[in-house]
């Protein structure tokens, strides 16, 4: 049997993996997700669509939001747009082409490479987006690093970086979109919990893209962070796109600086070594925030040691009860 960690990256995922998977028999926790995103760097504006299909319960939760709030303490009142619908009927079709009563319409127009995503929401808001793959879809079995034992994700999960172009209207104001942003697709039994994973995890799901429309270079990382020192994250899955070539990451570490008295990052740094032995350092400065529950998202301006500027996001998942136990963020 071939080893996904040694085969050519991007060769593991098959077209069938982009459809609904056979759910575990009668397991109400079974969850299949579709996640699409976009970003407008010059406005530090970020949009998310997450459709979560409880296939054994015949129901979908659809979460759509946009944020561009520079004040990290503004909370939910600082979000530009937010709409969650928790009891949407399952579509009669599969994930290659579906339409939901929540206003979401998704069509895979070229298998594994292109999607058209439409959202017609509330408050004079819509998204009309074309997503074109910058890489083949990759499974977490292909992107593991030397720290794979720390992984927060051990089941079905596909990541893919896309060039996202199109138009959005956010509460009556029109914007053009043209920049790199990730999508993903996951499937596994996933219980509802304060962290979203059924156990007290802390992890980051972060990316940055450089060059015009983010097409020159991209890094994408998933981390597991130690509760005894949340200033450090073990990069357990990652990849790079270097001028169109997808590369594995051998190992990496995240370093996080928190506000003195609140659970959000004021700076983030990644140190990565790729499969060719090259070292990469990315320093991030958050520019806008969305804080909901025990997690934080932020649009990040990234810089390399030679002064290259990129844009992306940090997406931190925490756990309510562990954060309450700790009381305050680590200093330094």
Write down the pLDDT at residue 47.
99
Structural domain contains residue 13: no
Write down the pLDDT at residue 139.
96
pLDDT at 273 over 60: yes
Structural domain contains residue 331: no
The residue whose two tokens read 């990256």 is: 9
Report in angstroms the alpha-carbon separations of 290 from 25, 83, 226, 265, 269.
36, 14, 23, 12, 20
Structural domain contains residue 11: no
Report in angstroms the alpha-carbon separations of 266 from 40, 291, 296, 329.
21, 14, 12, 12
Write down the pLDDT at residue 153.
65
List, in order, residues 6 or more apart from 30 with CB less than 8 Å away.
23, 24, 54, 55, 56, 187, 188, 189, 190
- Assign 16 to helix, strand or coil: helix
Instruction: Out of 12-21, 112-121, 198-207, 278-287, pick the least confident.
Output: 198-207
Report in angstroms the alpha-carbon separations of 68 from 180, 259, 279, 287, 297.
17, 19, 32, 8, 11
- Dist CA 268 CA 286 (whole Å): 8
Structural domain contains residue 224: yes
Q: How sure is the predictor about 151, in pLDDT bands with cuts at 50, 70 and 90?
A: confident
Write down the pLDDT at residue 148.
80
- Spatial contact of 219 and 194, defined as CB atoms under 8 Å apart: no
For every residue of 175-240, DSSP letters joined together read EEEEEEEEEEEEEEE----SSSSSS---EEEEEEEESGGG-SEEEEEEEEEETTEEEEEEEEEEEE
Write down the pLDDT at residue 195.
62
pLDDT at 59 over 50: yes
Give phi and psi for 282, each to the nearest 5.
Answer: -130, 120
**CATH code of residue 47:** 2.40.370.10
Report in angstroms the alpha-carbon separations of 320 from 65, 154, 258, 265, 270.
22, 22, 17, 17, 25
Structural domain contains residue 31: yes
The residue whose two tokens read 């944020």 is: 67
Calculate what percentage of the chain has a pLDDT beyond 70. 97
- Assign 172 to helix, strand or coil: coil
Structural domain contains residue 103: yes
Residue-number span of the structural domain to which 121 is assigned: 25-326
DSSP character at residue 69? B
Please give the residue that has the higher pLDDT: either 165 or 293: 165
How many structural domains does the chain have? 1
- Assign 59 to helix, strand or coil: strand
Structural domain contains residue 228: yes
Structural domain contains residue 92: yes
């Amino acid at each position: 049997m071939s080893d996904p960690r040694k085969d050519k990256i991007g060769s593991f995922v098959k077209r069938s993996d982009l459809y609904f998977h056979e759910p575990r028999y009668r397991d109400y926790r079974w969850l299949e997700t579709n996640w699409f995103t976009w970003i407008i760097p010059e406005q530090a504006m970020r949009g998310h669509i997450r459709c979560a299909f409880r296939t054994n319960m015949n129901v979908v939760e659809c979460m759509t939001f946009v944020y561009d709030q520079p004040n990290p303490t503004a909370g939910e009142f600082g979000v530009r747009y937010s709409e969650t619908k928790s009891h949407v009927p399952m579509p009669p079709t599969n994930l290659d082409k579906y339409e939901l009563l929540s206003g979401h319409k998704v069509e895979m127009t070229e298998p594994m490479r292109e999607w058209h995503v439409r959202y017609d929401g509330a408050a004079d808001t819509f998204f009309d987006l074309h997503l074109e793959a910058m890489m083949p879809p990759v499974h977490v079995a292909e992107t593991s690093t030397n720290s794979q034992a720390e992984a927060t994700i051990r089941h079905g999960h596909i990541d893919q970086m896309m060039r996202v172009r199109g138009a959005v209207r956010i509460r009556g104001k029109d914007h053009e979109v043209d920049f790199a942003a990730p999508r993903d697709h996951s499937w596994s039994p996933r219980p509802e919990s304060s962290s979203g994973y059924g156990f007290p995890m802390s992890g980051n799901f972060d990316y940055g893209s450089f060059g015009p429309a983010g097409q020159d270079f991209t890094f994408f990382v998933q981390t597991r962070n130690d509760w005894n020192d949340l200033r450090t994250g073990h990069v357990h899955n990652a990849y790079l796109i270097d001028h169109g070539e997808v590369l594995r990451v051998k190992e990496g570490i995240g370093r996080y600086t928190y506000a003195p008295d609140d659970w959000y990052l004021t700076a983030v740094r990644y140190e990565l070594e790729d499969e060719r032995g090259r070292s990469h350092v990315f320093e991030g400065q958050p520019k806008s925030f969305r804080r909901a529950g025990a997690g934080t998202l932020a649009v990040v301006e990234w810089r390399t040691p030679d002064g290259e500027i990129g844009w992306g996001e940090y997406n931190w998942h925490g756990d309510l009860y562990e954060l309450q136990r700790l009381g305050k963020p680590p200093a330094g």
